[in-house]
Amino acid sequence: MDVDYGIRKAARLGQTRLPDGRLLGWAEWGPVDGTPVLLCPGAATSRGLAFGGGVVDAAGVRLVSVDRPGLGTSDPAPERTLTSWATDIRHLIRERALRAPSAVGFSQGAPFALALAASGLVNAVAVVSGSDEIAHPRFTHSLNPQVRGMVDAVVADAVAAEDSFADFGDASALWELIITTSAEPDRAVYTDPVFQRAFRQAMDEAFDQGPAGYARDTILAMSPWPFDPTDITVPVDLWYGRQDTSPVHSPDLGASLTRMIPTATRHLLPTAGGSLLWTHAEDVLHTLLAHSR
């Protein structure tokens, strides 16, 4: 029996022009008058890899996945920050009439989704297998040694580190890294023929403009966050799988982040891995929607 991980082609594709002239690319699924949910995709993937394709229509969700600047169809912004990302999304919300949206941040997309919450742009957030604030001192002694070295390199010389990430970054290299660092439950998802084809296509699209967008994302993910998680006031659900072995997600699977965010609820699924955005999409979406209805 084939497993359906909710991979569907987008119902709508487009770009929105920002005040400085740049274009921000997006893709949408679900009814255009549905409850808006913004997706901040994982590392080095484009707007095209969404989730919950079998759920969004029935749930009345207008899922909007956005290419970050320099990836996919979004124009680059070389000096961008998590704060400038929130400014871009503020404009997108207004132009696309995304009234009272929620947000989902998957993997490296987590700090981007939380930045929207810290800026008061969304009414709830689901962090799924999210990258934590790994530059925070609370993780000084618990990071994977290779990741610790990357964080230290960013602190020592962010420009040189960004160049290094760009030299490494291409779709094939990152695909191999994902497969080799994933546990068996995740490899089963990622190597499913339908899912793998969509995943690889989204990675290829992310690098259409070269590796600079990926490199900038990685710098932001490995730097201290420019907002204080304790100031977040909207509901935040932190979803982690006990089988998640990714070295760049949360070293403690969101435990300390749950304590830092006053409104956070942690969901630790014992048999799930890092791919739970696709294996548990209905749970993630319905829990998120309960905050806005």
Q: Is the pLDDT of residue 74 over 70?
A: yes
Report d(CA 28, CA 38) in Å as an integer. Answer: 9
Q: Is the pLDDT of residue 55 over 60?
A: yes
Cβ neighbours of residue 117 under 8 Å, at least 6 residues apart? 103, 125, 232, 234, 236
Confidence at residue 1, expressed as pLDDT on a 0 to 100 scale: 47
Please provide the size of the chain in residues. Answer: 293
Per residue in 227-281, pLDDT (tens digit) is 999 999 999 999 999 999 999 999 999 999 999 999 999 999 999 999 999 999 9
**pLDDT tier, 2 (very low <50, low <70, confident <90, very high otherwise):** low
Look over the chain and give the mean of its residue pLDDT values, rounded to a whole number.
96
Which of 52, 50, 54, 53 has its CA nearest to residue 41?
A: 50
Q: For residue 277, what are the CA distances in angstroms to 5, 7, 97?
A: 9, 11, 26
